[in-house]
Structure formats: structure tokens, C-alpha cells
Amino acid sequence: MRISQPTTIICFLLLLSILPGVAQAYTTPESIVASGNVYISRVIYDPGAFFTGDTGTVTVYVTNGNSNQSIVVNHATIGDKNIRLISSPYDTSANIGPLQTQTFIFSVATDAFEGAYYPTFSLSFRDADSLYYRAMVKVDNTPLELTIIDKPDAFTQGKKKTINMQVANPRKNNVTNVVLEVTGEGISTTPARTFIGDLGPGAKLPVNFTITPEKATTVLLTLSYDNGDNLHKTTMELPVTFSVDKKQAEPVISNVQVTTAAGVYHVTGDVNNAGLETANTVMVTALAPAVPQDPYKTYVVGALKPDDFGQFEVTFTAGPGNTSIPIELSYKDTDGNIYRSIQDVKISSSGISNSPAEGSSSNMVPVAAAIVIVLIFVGGWVYYLRRNKQ
């Protein structure tokens, strides 16, 4: 079939007249004006500031500012090369009523370095052009701060010490589920885990815990927290080395006097606290080979403040051959930890030369006496018999 040239021209003109006619069926000057009244009322990032590698959400609030006209949107997305969209864009039509707000929530991720980024939010109108909005977000790798406020000058084996810490949030956003965990080999801590909860930007919180070390070790402090849904950790190492506590109580025995009565030794003396802390429940007793006896098997001196002193008296018996006896001095610190020190006290050089506890040499006196008695008896009878014989 042959189509004439005039017919072709007429058809082309008709087609041209039809195409603009379709467009003009929706995009009207009114709809363009109406789309101009649509605006981004709010953008919320969660977390408020990202760490490099974090994932999060961004919620875009789109408000229809028209009081009497609805707006139909059919595509919404956000992102750029630094703030990557990891959820699907909105590809379905949605109607935003007059003065209504529609939220668009996207999941995003970033591997960008620290800095401010401006991913673009784009929204397509059915009856007009698109809306573009740059929503600023920051990538900030500043971690939470863990600071030792106060710690003991020295650690002592088995002695409980308190560590005062401070947890601070130097970030610009809130972090949640903040937990401080204290771990280490050969230590017992109380509490081992401290739940702090939320920590707002610029906030700081004191955290105290106690450590009772059984050996020299390194305590690991781990501060974990959630930035959005992303777990982060800050760690700190606290070396625990044993040394002499310069302030600890130091009871010292002096002015020791030893007497004996009926085989029972009485040791009296003074206990001075030469330390800088109070020695509680100071007790004095004699150790083996001594056998503590009443009335003073153990003498409780009581609490001794620094530079204070008290007197003690212990009574005991000691087997033969013992020239010195260990005297044990014990006390407790404020946490109830028991400290012991032993001091030998000479008992043979204290004027008890005729003590029955002197040793086996003391047996020689009665043996000699017995032999003399026997000799007198035998000698007397020999003499008697000889005299009578004569």
C-alpha cells in the first residue's frame, strides 16, 4: 500500500499534537506551584555521627505545605559515594495529603574518613519535577574516654584496692548501652561489669570498682558501647605490680619482757603502729613449738591508730631445747584483709637459767642426785657390813 506524502505529513503533525497533549494532561502550572510548597521538614540520622564502617538509618520527613492540595510522589532515594544507600529506594507512588508529612527511611553505610558529608535526597513528583535536598552527616571516629581518676600507690597481694574511673563521651552524639568490664588473670574485681547505660554528648560519669590481686598482672578495662546499632569498644590496660604500700599499718613489737612461772612463759611487751593507716584487731600469739596456755593464749590489742601503741601479754609453754619462740603479730586493714608478721623472742637468755624448759641438760641434776643417793645407800651398807664383820 502506498501512502501519499500529504498523508504522512498529516499523521506526523497529528502525533506531535498528541504528545504534548498527554503531558499537559498532569503537569499544570498549578501542580508545579503546588510541588513548590513541598519541603523537607526534618532529617534525622541514627546514629547522629557515624564511625567509619558504621551502618545506620536516615529518616527524611517530607511535608506538603499546601493547605488544599495533595501531592503524589513516586520515587525517593538518598546517598552518594561516601554515604551509601544499602536499602532499596522508594519506587512506588505515595500521596501526601495537604499539610501532611511523609517519612522516608533509608539504611545507609559509610566507609568514609572523618569529615562532613552531604548525601543528596531526591524526591520525584508525579505532577512536577523532582525535589533535591542535601542532608549533612558527620563521620567522627572519636571514641569514648576512659580515665583513671584515682588509684592506689601500690598493690599488695590479697588486699582489696579501689580504683576510681571516669567515663566521658567527647562525641557529638548520644551513645547507648555503655558497659565497663574489668578482667585480668589472678584478680577478683567487684563489680566485674558495670552497666552505665546512655551517655549523652559531652557527658561524663564516675565509675568505681575494687581489685583484689593474687599475683602481679595486667588488668584490662574494656568500655563497650553502641553507636546506633554498631558496637564499639575502648580498652585500657592497668598494670598491677606488687610493692610495699607506703601508707599501710606497720605494727612493731618492742619492750619485750620474758618471765616464767611453773613452766609457763609470760611474754609482755608493747605494740607500736609505725605505719600511716590504722591497724585493726591487732592480735599477738605464740607459734609452734610454743604451746599457748591460758590465761593469754592470744592477746587482742585492738585497733591501733598511726603512732598509737598498746601492750600485750601472751602465755605459753615450750618444750626442751627451745631457745627462742616465734611470736605472731596479726592485724586487719579496713577491708578485713589479714596481715601477719612473725618476730622471734629469745626465752633462754632472759634469766630463766633454772627453767624446766631449758633442755635435756636439766635432767642431769636429778640424775646426779639419784646416783648420789644410791651411792650413799650402797656405801653406807658396805661400811656397815665391814664394821660389823670386824
Binding site for another protein (CB under 8 A): 262-264, 291, 293, 317-320, 355-357, 362-364, 366-367, 369-371, 373-374, 377-378, 381, 384-385, 388-389
Q: Which residue's CB is nearer to another protein, number 24 or number 354?
A: 354
Least separation in angstroms between residue 338's CB and another protein is: 26
Q: How far is the CB of 343 from another protein (least distance, A)?
A: 23
Shortest Cβ 314–another protein spacing (Å): 14
DSSP code of 5? Answer: H
Q: In this complex, which beta carbon is closest to another protein, that of residue 155 or of residue 296? A: 296
CA distance 73 to 65: 14
Contact 78, 122 (CB under 8 A): yes
What's the closest the beta carbon of residue 373 comes to another protein, in angstroms? 6
Smallest distance from another protein to CB 390, Å: 13
CB of 356 to another protein, least distance (A): 4
Helix (H, G, I), strand (E, B) or coil at 14: helix
**What is the nearest approach in angstroms of another protein to the Cβ of residue 377?**
5
Q: Quick one: 102 or 317, whose CB is closer to another protein?
A: 317
Q: Which is nearer to another protein, 44 or 288 (CB)?
A: 288
Query: Number of helices and strands (H, E) in the chain?
Result: 3, 27
Contact of 211 with 163, CB cutoff 8 Å:
yes
Q: How far apart are CA 389 and CA 371, in angstroms?
A: 27
Which is it for the CA torsion 179, 180, 182, 188, positive or negative?
negative
**Do the Cβ atoms of 280 and 300 come closer than 8 Å?**
no
Whether 305 and 299 have beta carbons less than 8 Å apart is answered as no
> In this complex, which beta carbon is closest to another protein, that of residue 253 or of residue 352?
352
What is the smallest separation between the CB atom of 372 and another protein, expressed in angstroms? 10
Closer residue to another protein (CB): 237 or 294: 294
What letter represents residue 102's amino acid?
Q
Residues 6+ positions from 203 with CB-CB distance below 8 Å: 168, 169
Whose Cβ is closer to another protein: residue 32's or residue 368's?
368
Euclidean distance between CA atoms 355 and 261, whole angstroms: 9
Cα–Cα distance measured from residue 203 to residue 216, given in angstroms and rounded to the nearest whole number? 34
Tell which residue, 15, 133, 160, 115, has the closest CA to residue 73.
133
d(CA 159, CA 188): 10
3-state secondary structure 96-159: ECCCCEEEEEEEEEECCCCEEECCEEEEEECCCCEEEEECCEEECCCCCEEEEEECCCCECCCC
Shortest Cβ 299–another protein spacing (Å): 17
- For residue 110, the surrounding DSSP H or E stretch is strand 101-110
Rounded Cα–Cα distance for residues 324 and 349 (Å): 9
In this structure, what C-alpha cell is assigned to residue 219? 588488668
Which grid cell is 339?
Answer: 596481715
**Which CB atom, from 202 or from 321, has the smaller least distance to another protein?**
321
Interstrand relation of 130-134 and 120-125 (parallel, antiparallel or unpaired): antiparallel
We find the least distance from the C-beta atom of residue 288 to another protein, in angstroms, to be 10
Q: Which is nearer to another protein, 231 or 371 (CB)?
A: 371
Between residues 78 and 286, which has the closer beta carbon with respect to another protein?
286
In DSSP terms, 259 is beta-bridged to 266
